[in-house]
Structure 1
Amino acid sequence: MAISVPNRGASATLPAGLERFNTAPAAVAESRLLECCGSTRWARRIVRHRPYPDLGALLAAADEAYYDLTPAQVSEAVACETPVGLWQPAGGRPDVRSAGFAARTAMQAAHAAYERQFGHAFVICLDDVHANDKLDHVLAAIRTRLGHDTERERAVTADELRRVVRGRLARRLADHPEWCP
């Protein structure tokens, strides 16, 4: 399905990150998108439908493209994910010094159990969770999701990853206009 983007005219101003994304060479834009979501098909589709008039249109297109992925393509994207932890900020690398030993141990054990059962990293979007609640939220979610059958967990994981990808994309365009040269 084609995504049409209305022409806003020359007078409309875009955030610097979105402007740069819209005008970047296709290969560069695709590479940057693959940092947000490991699905090649998803990234190519988003690039193919540029320019986007605003961040909302881009995020809507990102969602639509994600919903159109096959289970194998979602698995491709999930395979690029690393386990999230209490000490891992959104889009960042783990800082194990900031979490206590018991928290690290509990998180590692929960992730190991999840990966043994489902064969991939536990994916959860923590964008709307207060920092003080993240450990409890993640551990409760892992416990709940360990009770899912494979099909149910595949659907939950896909939706969580879609939310993670949406947040990554929005943050990179808003907070790092240089992200797409």
Structure 2
Amino acid sequence: MQTRATPVTPSSLERFNTAPAEEAVATLLTCLNSGHWAERLTSHRPYPDLPSLLAAADEAAYDLSPDDLAQALAAETLPPLPEDTYAAAYTALSAAYAAYEARFGHVFAICLDGMASDEALNHVLAGIRSRLANDPDEERLIALEELRLLARGRLTRIAGGRERDAAGRAAQAGPGTGGPLPANPPGPPPR
């Protein structure tokens, strides 16, 4: 009896390392919409392992210029609300988003990776309320850190071999979150 060999397929990281530059940049832009960040990570390929890629991504994120940060924030969307959100919470969150955007001129970015969906709404509301007290320079640093965390989570899902699962979650959660919040209920958008 002859056993069939299991075909060896390249890992997601190997595919990223060997992809044409344009494809790698396009993939990275789904993690953090900064051309400078994506091109820098692409130009330093190949990465021997995921921790090396994540370290390079962190370093590149810390080096984002104010224009790069503005570009990345402009592409983010608000975290969607859980399906069972009460109308009052929906109204409170919509008002908090509007106050944040009016104060800082960009969408509220927050990483919800690892956050249970039933805790996410309170975490987002508390985050917005506390960050509204920040001065614009302080808030830019916090927003940058949240974007770095979002990019890390997205990159881990893509390069860590879970891109199919991540694509499903990303389509459900949207690019503004790192967490597993369900899609918005019918009604007005949260902005």
What's the TM-score once normalised by structure 1's chain length? Answer: 0.81
Give the alignment of 1:23-172 within 5 angstroms.
Answer: 23-87=18-82, 97-172=83-158
- SS of equivalent to 2:111: coil
The letter of the residue matching 1:176 is: E
The whole-number CA distance in structure 2 between the counterparts of 1:177 and 1:136 is 29
- SS of equivalent to 1:18: helix
Runs (4+) of structure 1 moved beyond 3 Å? none
The letter of the residue matching 2:39 is: R
The whole-number CA distance in structure 1 between the counterparts of 2:61 and 2:121 is 28
RMSD: 2.1
Among all aligned residue pairs of Structure 1 and Structure 2, give the percentage whose two residues are the same amino acid.
51
Q: Which runs of 5+ in 1 are unaligned?
A: 1-12, 88-96
Aligned to 1:17: 12
Q: Which runs of 5+ in 2 are unaligned?
A: 1-7, 167-191
The letter of the residue matching 2:163 is: H
- SS of equivalent to 1:168: helix
Flag the 1:131–1:39 CA change in 2: closer, same or farther, 3 A.
same
The letter of the residue matching 2:162 is: D
The letter of the residue matching 1:168 is: R
Equivalent residue pairs, number? 158
CA contact (8 A) 1:18 1:54 kept: yes
The whole-number CA distance in structure 2 between the counterparts of 1:132 and 1:101 is 16
1:176 aligns with 2:163: yes
The letter of the residue matching 1:48 is: S
Flag the 1:85–1:51 CA change in 2: closer, same or farther, 3 A.
same
The whole-number CA distance in structure 2 between the counterparts of 1:14 and 1:124 is 35
